[in-house]
Amino acid sequence: MHLYSNTDICCCQLNLTKKFYELRITMEEFKKKLIEFIFPPALTCSFCGREVFTGEPICADCKDILPKNDGFYCEKCGRRTRIPTNYCEYCSGRLVNFDIARSAYIYDYPVNKAIQNLKYNNMRFFAREFAKEMAKVYYKACVVCDGITCVPMSDKRKRKRGYNQSALIAEALSDELGLPFFEDVIIKQRDTKSQVGLSQKERIINLSGSFSIKNRSLIKGKKLILVDDVFTTGTTVNLISEKLKSAGAEYVFALTVSSVDMKKEENNAKNT
Ligand SMILES: [Zn+2]
Ligand SMILES: [Zn+2]
């Protein structure tokens, strides 16, 4: 009778794990191709309507005029400021739970339109475009993170919309940066009313108790990127950061597609 040694068993297990991992990668690739087939990138520029031959949803001219958040910004919340500063008027004397927040664009036309199209008109290809620019912002911040997570959506809303736009962006960013995406770490337990037009205090009350963390072992001691589409008052990412830190996360880098200028925050938020 042949008895397997511990080493044999380990090798077998290793091979099986490797095969399973390869199969999983193949399935993920297949899923992506299928999504691209069902929701193909536009053949014309999504902003100006001109033909695009690169397969990208935005033409080079329109890309050049997108309102990038590349001037002066607050070192804490990442929102645009008139002068270089460590803390903007909004962040001064205020305790926040994320370590830093940064955004790739200013929430202004046509980025606001693209975000709305990603959210409500199934234009999922914008997620990849945004992720490319967000990756540049991540590298510029010189922070080394271990993984990515995102602002969740309640099951009810996800069933209605069919997808969570922040998860699409986070998944694309995960591909760009080669970092793991911890999708199901944050749960939104109940649906909350829209934050549009609410004051910061009302936003906190509206979201209070709606987020919880699961799979704590995944994030313990980790430096995380928390992805969302728009940074308005920062209430959502702040509440989630508090949960992540309580669950053992070491560092939270809130990275959003765009941020709303402080003075415009209420008016523009009406369009989100
Ligand atoms: Zn264009
Ligand atoms: Zn600030």
| 47-105 pLDDT tens trace | 888 888 877 888 889 888 899 999 999 999 999 998 888 889 888 888 899 999 999 99
**Nearest ligand, measured from the Cα of 77:** 2
Q: Is the pLDDT of residue 123 over 70?
A: yes
By three-state DSSP, how is residue 194 classified? coil
**Nearest ligand atom owner, CA of 60:** 1
Residue type, 82: R
- Report which listed range, 31-40, 46-55, 168-177, 196-205, is most confident: 168-177
Which ligand lies nearest the alpha carbon of 100? 2
Across 124-133, 191-200, 252-261, least confident range? 191-200
CA of 114 to the centre of ligand 1 (A): 12
What pLDDT, on the 0 to 100 scale, is given for residue 40?
Answer: 59
Q: Which ligand is nearest to the CA of 46?
A: 1
Q: Rounded mean pLDDT of 248-271? A: 77
- Is pLDDT larger for residue 210 or for residue 105? 105
Q: Is the pLDDT of residue 260 over 80?
A: yes
Residues with CB under 5 A from ligand 1 (ion): 45, 47-48, 59, 62
Instruction: Write out pLDDT tens, residues 1-24.
Output: 444 444 444 555 555 555 555 555
Ligand nearest to the CA of 91: 2
Q: How far is CA 100 from CA 51, 62, 230, in A?
A: 39, 29, 15
Mean pLDDT, range 214-223, rounded to an integer? 94
How far is residue 209 from each of residues 185, 192, 206, measured CA to CA in Å? 16, 10, 9
Q: Are 129 and 259 in contact (CB under 8 A)?
A: no
How much distance in Å is there from the Cα of 239 to the middle of ligand 2? 16
- Position with higher pLDDT, 233 vs 170: 170
| Domain at 67-269: CATH architecture | 3-Layer(aba) Sandwich (3.40)
Q: Determine the distance separating the centroid of ligand 2 and the alpha carbon of 181, expressed in angstroms.
A: 27
Ligand 2 centroid to residue 230 C-alpha, Å: 15
Centroid of ligand 1 to alpha carbon of 67 (angstroms):
14
Contact 98, 241 (CB under 8 A): yes
Read off the pLDDT band of 43 (50, 70, 90).
confident
Provide the residue ranges of all domains of the chain, joining segments of one domain with +.
67-269
- Ligand at minimal distance from the CA of 94 is 2
**Closest ligand relative to 86 C-alpha:** 2
Range in 1-15, 177-191, 218-232 the model is least confident about: 1-15
Give residue 261's pLDDT.
Answer: 85
Closest by Cα among 130, 77, 72 to 236: 77
92 CA to centre of ligand 2 in angstroms: 7
Tell me the pLDDT tens digit for each residue of 145-173: 999 999 999 988 888 889 999 999 999 99
CA of 78 to the centre of ligand 1 (A): 27
Q: For residue 89, how far is its CA from the centre of ligand 2 (angstroms)?
A: 7
Alpha-carbon Rg for the chain, nearest whole angstrom, is 20
Q: Which ligand is nearest to the CA of 66?
A: 1
Among candidate residues 187, 191, 260, 264, the one with its CA nearest the CA of residue 219: 187
Residue-level pLDDT at 231 = 95
Q: How many angstroms does the Cα of residue 54 sit away from the middle of ligand 1? A: 12
Assign 202 a pLDDT band (cuts: 50, 70, 90).
confident
Residue 38's pLDDT is 64
Query: How many angstroms separate the alpha carbon of residue 31 from the centre of ligand 1?
Result: 29
Q: Which residue has the higher pLDDT, 28 or 3?
A: 28
Q: How many Å lie between the centroid of ligand 2 and the Cα of residue 75?
A: 7
Confidence at residue 271, expressed as pLDDT on a 0 to 100 scale = 41
Residue with tokens 């691209």: 36
Q: Is 265 or 76 the better-scoring residue by pLDDT?
A: 76
Distance 57 CA to ligand 1 centre (A): 9
> Rounded to a whole number, what is the distance in angstroms from the first to the last CA of the chain?
70
Cα separation, 50 vs 83, in Å, equals: 37
